[in-house]
Structure 1
């Protein structure tokens, strides 16, 4: 992969694909136990028990994501640039946008009385005083485009831009604790972690984040949707604080001795499951599920017309690493994977969502049984969500650098195999002039509907 200029690479690290990029390097097959000592009893996918309904292509959402950090130099101070990119999105065939208004620094690009406004992001200063999100809503709605506001949830800062975890010592206990082979450390002391995650188990963290979600819904009642990104644990190494240990003990009704070793130990760079490993994965999934339930209820309590959505990676076989079960609560992961308990399915949150975007970020386009292809990622996501929510395939523009035919074909796949398209990110449309390729893919899918 050819990397671009160094300042944009730092920006890319700050967006959701950084996780996907690492996963793509680590996992080249669809096995859920790659890199982990979980045994060899994985089970192949089974067909869904019912035929899922087909949606006409012209009714499927076509969403363009606009990352705050990557596009800040273009959008931060220019209403005209916002207007021009929205016009181009409309012409290309997109029907909705996701505008990123809480990047990983944890500060925001909307009117708030609870958190600081962003003035500098990715080394770009914002001098304009007009309402960033409000301008997107006004301009997009004038063009007939729907607007979804994205917030990066379980983060409170990043190495480059700082944030609440850097400036507020009273919130230092909110930072997640990471368990590495060398021991347990705060993520604030970990140079490898660019984005600084909160501990999702901490009730103070949850209350704070729910207050932000509530305020966003209240202040922007004309939003079409609110999207949660990074609504998860940082990694398999997170969270190993005493607070989380106590909560886990309450969940299983036992005192956990030899913590964290009774959860898992390290064998070089591989996880070796301990006595409570499967219950630990189940517990983490419950934490995320319950937060999603609260977040959805918070949004709907303010305005039931605002859609509630999320983005996750599509690699379900290993997404337990992030403490997330985005499947249907009717999908029994334990029948397919050795890491899941029968109770794991109870914390599938697909039915809580109005909008679900899954990262079909593989470079290979076709291959129905491989979750690392564009086609397979979407089909396997549909198999585990079981129709509880439509599956919108999400494409990563950097995969199609100098490959306009692949970009066109990938767009066509998402709109014919899946329930919609999300393209991440507008920066790649601009950098590599992929607008026409995306338009051809959209037009071809509509013509063949």
Structure 2
């Protein structure tokens, strides 16, 4: 079904990492062949919080749920009531999907009238209605924006409409050469170049606009706040900015960063500093976005979602660890300075993708338990870690869904369930409720 397309894209990304890892080769973007997670020290624990007080968050994706929610306030109300009765305490409402347009009142970005084949004819405020209805039920609302995207193949978007912004699209370095992501049929979501100052200014204006117009929202979440992939960005602008960062001219670009040997990356002279530079780029975005939000309302939580696979997440140019965690002591790809751009301490809410189908295994980064524990190890207590579960993994597996929820709430600092569409498709509401109730009972004993 069309409304599942966005969900499947996110699943295939996670599944691809899992599949490649299981076959004993490196994930896409982990082509260098990284060190396995070998640390035996326990994670730094957040202060003990009863499970009853930990956040239990339901993600409501825009595209997947658009047919049900776009034109019906009653359906918005019904899904929130069901979430409340299941035990969820918060929702993440996706209001800027990968098309780059929005589902809230904005003076900067166009509002969405159609996703896929579903048209929105209603004129009521989508985000405003979620906030009002959720607050009436005692639920918190976090507004999610897919920040680093400006369009997608199916729905178009700003990068398709506005030719003056064509230079904002990221440039991808493939074995066949460097191309714009707009010309890449493999890339469904069209990412901006995070290094471009004009892009950063534009994205920060979106964050500021959202916080100003909805100062009663409980949280603002940045999703896809990253580079597109290890192939991104290799534009002339990024080369110049990188040269400024390292203080020298970069010859033989991009080969002095890395070369392709088949489908593997072979590091060049500047490879490690390149990874460090990319992490700083995303750190700066987070630092400035947080400042924008807090200046408007310091009570609005500032948060993000990332995958939990830290050992290869440099692929996306993101260091979501604590700035006290020295990745260079554990991984061959990191410089000692890489830690300076860990952004965990900038977050009020962090959701990590514990998307493995294996439930237990403390030393396994790809199990639900291991993903959460390893995320806690690298964040060093700077932010609570909410284990994020992927509903498609539990198709016809209600017992696994219940157990995974229990793990997230007892091993981790909270729960995020992605996505409501799977709760409906596979009738997982009861399983999730059982997992929440069991975790609360376990915590109380």
Q: Do residues 283 (structure 1) and 277 (structure 2) align?
A: yes
CA distances 1:360-392 after superposition (whole Å, capped 9, x unpaired)? 000000000011000000000000000000000
Residue 39 of structure 1 deviates from its aligned partner by 6.1
Residue 27 of structure 1 deviates from its aligned partner by 2.3
Cross-structure match for 2:62? 68
CA distances 1:270-311 after superposition (whole Å, capped 9, x unpaired)? 111111111100000000001100000000011101000000
| 2-structure distance, mates of 1:337, 1:242 | 29
Cross-structure match for 1:231? 225
Cross-structure match for 1:90? 84
Cross-structure match for 2:193? 199
| 1-structure distance, mates of 2:231, 2:221 | 25
| 1-structure distance, mates of 2:439, 2:25 | 31
Residue 22 of structure 1 deviates from its aligned partner by 2.8
CA distances 1:109-163 after superposition (whole Å, capped 9, x unpaired)? 0001111000001210000000000000000000000000000000000000000
Q: Do residues 12 (structure 1) and 12 (structure 2) align?
A: no
Aligned with residue 27 of structure 1, among 18, 21, 30: 21
Name stretches of at least 5 consecutive residues in structure 2 with no aligned partner: none
CA distances 1:58-109 after superposition (whole Å, capped 9, x unpaired)? 1100000000000000000000000000000000000000000000000000
| 2-structure distance, mates of 1:383, 1:31 | 24
Change (3 A) 1:95 1:160: same
TM-score after normalising by structure 1: 0.96
| 1-structure distance, mates of 2:31, 2:170 | 25
TM-score after normalising by structure 2: 0.97
State the Cα RMSD in Å. Answer: 1.6
Task: Work out whether residues 44 and 376 of structure 2, in 8 Å CA contact, stay in contact via their aligned partners in 1.
Answer: no
Q: Do residues 297 (structure 1) and 273 (structure 2) align?
A: no
Residue 9 of structure 1 deviates from its aligned partner by 4.3
Q: Do residues 418 (structure 1) and 412 (structure 2) align?
A: yes
| 1-structure distance, mates of 2:71, 2:345 | 39
| 2-structure distance, mates of 1:73, 1:369 | 41
Aligned runs of 1:392-403 on 2, under 5 Å? 392-403=386-397
Cross-structure match for 1:342? 336
Name stretches of at least 5 consecutive residues in structure 1 with no aligned partner: none
Cross-structure match for 2:93? 99
Task: Work out whether residues 30 and 317 of structure 1, in 8 Å CA contact, stay in contact via their aligned partners in 2.
Answer: no
Change (3 A) 1:437 1:279: same
| 2-structure distance, mates of 1:269, 1:54 | 45
Residue 38 of structure 1 deviates from its aligned partner by 3.8
Give the SS at the match of 1:389.
coil
CA distances 1:205-234 after superposition (whole Å, capped 9, x unpaired)? 010010010010000011000000000000
Aligned runs of 1:16-415 on 2, under 5 Å? 16-28=10-22, 38=32, 44-48=38-42, 52-415=46-409
CA distances 1:414-437 after superposition (whole Å, capped 9, x unpaired)? 000000000000000011110000
Residue 40 of structure 1 deviates from its aligned partner by 7.0
In the TM superposition, structure 1's runs of 4+ consecutive aligned residues that sit over 4 Å from their partners are: 29-37, 39-43, 48-52
